[in-house]
Amino acid sequence: MDDNIAIIDIGSGNLQSVQKVLKYLGKDSEIIVTPEKISKFDKVILPGVGNFGKVMEGIRSRGFETPIKEIINQNTKFLGICVGMQVLFESSDESPGCPGLCSFKGKVLKFQKGKIPQIGWNLLEPRESKIISKGYVYYVNSYYVQPENESLISATSDYYGEFTGAIQFKNLTAVQFHPEKSGEYGIEFYRRWLSC
């Protein structure tokens, strides 16, 4: 059976790059700008680039907040990328007073050391995961997720201290790095995500 993949467009995200990787893997996808059709897809990707508050504004103004929460609670396979992972939590230091989707308890914190944002390759160290493997991935981030429940964390990287590189919960995977910019590692990551 062919995969039925949606890429959510909330006005922030590297949508064409994600779509290009999927196409390389022989998978068609549809970029959706309204939530009405989201329940018809069995795989959904939420890319997010830039500011936490702006991404949440895009999610809310386009009517995606409730549908995203609903598909996360169902059997739909979900992938959040970069800020698309951060918005799954309650709040961010980047946008005080702006609530996230609150799918998980925890907050998004700013790096306190090193050059900010972190830009470039960094080693991803997996915990137990069928989707995440050890390897170098590409980051562009000033903020990182701190889940209240540490069992959500499926991989970490180190930037003047350990931080969350990926989380997994049931049908949901979310990553701080950019798989579509991570070369062969990113291609294999998408291949595993599609098949698991």
Active site amino acids: 82, 178, 180
How far apart CA 46 and CA 10 sit, in angstroms, is 9
> Which residues neighbour 1 within 8 Å (Cβ) at sequence distance 6 or greater?
none
Query: Which residue, among 49, 47, 51, 88, has the nearest Cα to 71 in the 3D structure?
Result: 88
Which helix H or strand E contains 143, and what residues bound it? strand 143-147
Cis peptide before 67 (omega within 30 of 0): no
DSSP label at 15?
Answer: H
